[in-house]
Structure formats: structure tokens, C-alpha cells
Amino acid sequence: RKYKRDGEQEADFISCVTFGKSAEFAQKYLHKGMRIVIGGRISTGSYKDKDGKTIYTTDVIVEEHEFAQNKDSGAGADSSETLKSR
């Protein structure tokens, strides 16, 4: 990617939405830079901006989450671990 610096791990920033108790948990315990594992569903949509241009959105509606390895710590699960279906 053009914005990746040498030696830095590539990262994607994906919009995630959560509700209810899960949202309360996220607000209280999650912060920038934390690695988490999520499971959920994709939600797409669109809206018109102030200039009338259509903006398309893609969000993950979070249904499950768990802690993974924090970028500052070697403890925890490996961030490459995948979620297993229930």
C-alpha cells in the first residue's frame, strides 16, 4: 500500500458496529491499537452526502468478539487465529 511504512505490519481499518451489552463492553474495555477477533455479518448501505453524491458503506455488525494479542504485549491469542463457527 502507498501508506505503509517500511517495517510496519499492513493493516485494514474496517467499520464495525455493535449494539447493547456488546457496545457497552467495547466502550469500556476496547481502545485504539487493541487487537480483537470478531464474528458478525456484513451490512451494506448508501446515503447522499451534502453535495448529492451517493456514498456507499460497508460495515461489520459485530455478533461475537474476544480479545486477541495487543500490539504492545506478547500475551494473548495469536492475531492470525480465525473464529470457528458455532
Q: What is the pLDDT of residues 21-36, one digit of tens each?
A: 989 989 999 988 888 8
Residue 12 confidence (pLDDT): 76
Report the distance separating Cα 10 and Cα 24, nearest Å: 29
Percent of the residues in the chain that have a pLDDT greater than 90, as a whole number: 44
* pLDDT one-digit tens code per residue, 29-74: 998 888 889 999 999 999 999 999 999 999 999 999 998 875 555 5
Domain total for the chain?
1
**In-domain check, residue 11:** no
**Local structure of 37: helix, strand or coil:** strand
CATH number (domain holding residue 62)? 2.40.50.140
> In this model, does residue 14 exceed pLDDT 80?
yes
| Grid cell in block for residue 86 | 458455532
- Domain containing 20 equals 16-67
Contact present, 48 and 54 (Cβ < 8 Å): yes
**In-domain check, residue 75:** no
**In-domain check, residue 9:** no
Residue 37 confidence (pLDDT): 92
